Amino acid sequence: MDYSPGLAGVPATKSKISFVDGQKGVLEYRGIPIEELAAKSTFLETAYLLLFDRLPSQSELDRFVRDTIRHRRIKYRITDLIKCLPEHGHPMDAVQAAVAALGMFYPADDVTNPDVQYWSSVRLIAKLPTIVSAFYRLRRGDEQIQPRDDLDHTSNFLYMLTGDVPDPKIAKALDVCLILHAEHTINASTFSAMVTASTLSDPYTVVSSAIGTLKGPLHGGATQGVAKMLDEIGSLDQVRPYLEKKLAAKQRIMGFGHRVYKVKDPRAKILQTIARELADHLQQQGGSALLELAQEVERVGEELLQAKGIHANVDFYSGVLYKEMGLDPDFFTTIFAMSRVAGWLAHWIEQVQDNHLFRPTQIYEGEHNRPYVPIAERG
Ligand X SMILES: CC(C)(COP(=O)(O)OP(=O)(O)OC[C@H]1O[C@@H](n2cnc3c(N)ncnc32)[C@H](O)[C@@H]1OP(=O)(O)O)[C@@H](O)C(=O)NCCC(=O)NCCS
Q: What residues act catalytically?
A: 258, 315
Alpha helices in the chain (DSSP H): 34-40, 43-52, 58-70, 76-83, 91-105, 114-138, 153-162, 168-181, 188-197, 203-214, 222-233, 239-248, 266-284, 290-305, 314-324, 332-353
Q: Which of 37, 131, 254, 293 binds ligand X (CB under 6 A)?
A: 254
Q: Which of 147, 166, 255, 319 binds ligand X (CB under 6 A)?
A: 255
Alpha-carbon separation of residue 370 from 364, 366, 373 (angstroms): 15, 10, 9
CA–CA distance, 156 with 160 (Å, rounded to integer): 6
The nearest distance, CB 269 to ligand X, in angstroms, is: 14
Asked whether position 319 contacts ligand X by CB under 6 A, the answer is: no
User: Shortest Cβ contact with ligand X: which residue?
Assistant: 257
CB 267 within 8 A of CB 176: no
d(CA 307, CA 302): 9
For ligand X, the closer CB: 18 or 133: 18
Minimum gap (Å) between residue 218 Cβ and ligand X: 4
Please, what is the minimum distance in Å from the beta carbon of residue 303 to ligand X? 13
**Interaction between residue 314 and ligand X (CB under 6 A):** yes
Q: Which of 28, 202, 315, 350 binds ligand X (CB under 6 A)?
A: 315
* Shortest Å, Cβ 285 to ligand X: 30
What is the Cα gyration radius of the chain?
A: 22
Contact status: 253 vs ligand X (CB under 6 A): yes
Say how far apart CA 113 and CA 5 lie, in whole Å. 36
Amino acid sitting at position 360: P
> Nearest to residue 77, comparing CAs of 50, 112, 101, 106?
101
CB of 177 to ligand X, least distance (A): 14
Give the three-class secondary structure for 359. Answer: coil
Nearer CB in complex with ligand X: 41/187: 187
Closer to ligand X at the Cβ: 88 or 308?
308
Q: Does 313 bind ligand X (CB under 6 A)?
A: yes
Closer Cβ to ligand X, 312 or 349, answer by number: 312
Q: With CB under 6 A as the contact rule, which of the stretches 145-153, 173-181, 312-320, 345-353 interacts with ligand X?
A: 312-320
Query: How far out from the chain centre does Cα 11 lie?
Result: 22
The answer to the question of residue 252 lying near ligand X (CB under 6 A) is: yes
The minimum distance between CB 311 and ligand X, in angstroms, equals 10
Element holding 212 (H helix, E strand)? helix 203-214
Report the residue number, 251 or 288, with the smaller CB distance to ligand X. Answer: 251
Contact flag: residue 256 with ligand X (CB under 6 A):
yes
E strands, the chain, in order: 18-21, 26-29, 32-33
Q: How far apart are CA 22 and CA 36, in angstroms?
A: 18
List, as one string, the DSSP characters of 233-245.
H-SGGGHHHHHHH
Q: Report CA-CA distances (Å) from 329 to 44, 91, 219, 231.
A: 24, 10, 15, 11
Q: Decide: helix, strand or coil at residue 312.
A: strand
Q: Nearer to ligand X by C-beta: 111 or 305?
A: 305
Binding footprint of ligand X, residue count (CB under 6 A): 16
Range in contact with ligand X (rule: CB under 6 A) among 86-94, 143-151, 305-313, 319-327: 305-313
Residue 258 interacts with ligand X (CB under 6 A)? yes
Nearer to ligand X, 103 or 221 (CB): 221
8 Å CB contact between 300 and 349: no
Q: How far apart are CA 176 and CA 36, in angstroms?
A: 11
Interacting residue with ligand X among 14, 308, 359, 368 (CB under 6 A): 308
Each residue 200-239 as x (binds ligand X by CB under 6 A) or -, in order, gives ------------------x---x-----------------
Can residue 257 be called a binding residue for ligand X (CB under 6 A)? Answer: yes
- The answer to the question of residue 10 lying near ligand X (CB under 6 A) is no
Q: What number of CA atoms fall less than 13 Å from residue 256's CA on the CB side?
A: 24
Q: Which residues bind ligand X (CB under 6 A)?
A: 218, 222, 252-259, 305, 308, 310, 313-315
